[in-house]
Amino acid sequence: MQVLYFAWIRERIGIPKEQVETSAVTVADLVDELRGREERYALAFSDMASVRVAIDQELVDLDAPLGDAREVAFFPPMTGG
Amino acid sequence: MVVRVQTDDFDIGVEISMMTAGRQDIGAIVTFSGLVRDMTGDQSVAVMELEHYPGMTEKALEKIEADANGRWPLQATLIIHRVGPLNAGANIVLVATASPHRQAAFEAAEFIMDFLKSRAPFWKKESGVDGGNWVDARDTDEEALARWTVSDD
Q: Give residue B40's pLDDT.
A: 85
- A76: which chain B residues are within 8 Å (Cβ-Cβ)? 123, 134, 137
Q: Which of A4, A54, A80 sits opposite B81 (nearest CB)?
A: A80
CB contact at 8 A, B118 and B142: yes
- CATH number where A33 lies: 3.10.20.30
* pLDDT tens digits, A15-39: 999 999 999 999 999 999 999 999 9
CB contact at 8 A, B3 and B58: yes
Q: Which of B59, B116, B125 sits opposite A80 (nearest CB)?
A: B116
Q: Give residue B151's pLDDT.
A: 53
User: Do the Cβ atoms of A76 and B116 come within 8 Å?
Assistant: no
**ipTM of the predicted structure?**
0.95
Region B45-67: mean pLDDT is 97
* A13 occurs within a structural domain: yes
- The residue range of the domain holding A8 is 2-75
* A9 occurs within a structural domain: yes
* Percentage with pLDDT > 70 across chain A: 100
Helix (H) / strand (E) containing A30: helix A27-35
Nearest chain B residue (CA) to A52: B121
How many CB atoms neighbour CB A54 within 10 A? 23
Q: Which of A57, A78, A81 sits opposite B59 (nearest CB)?
A: A57
* A80 occurs within a structural domain: no
Q: Specify the number of domains making up chain A.
A: 1
Reported confidence tier of residue B152, pLDDT bands at 50, 70, 90: very low
* pLDDT tens digits, B25-40: 999 999 999 999 998 8
User: Do the Cβ atoms of B119 and A59 come within 8 Å?
Assistant: yes
Query: Which CATH number applies to B2-150?
Result: 3.90.1170.40
* A16 occurs within a structural domain: yes
CB contact at 8 A, A7 and B134: yes
Q: What mean pLDDT, rounded, does chain A reach?
A: 97
User: Do the Cβ atoms of A57 and B116 come within 8 Å?
Assistant: no
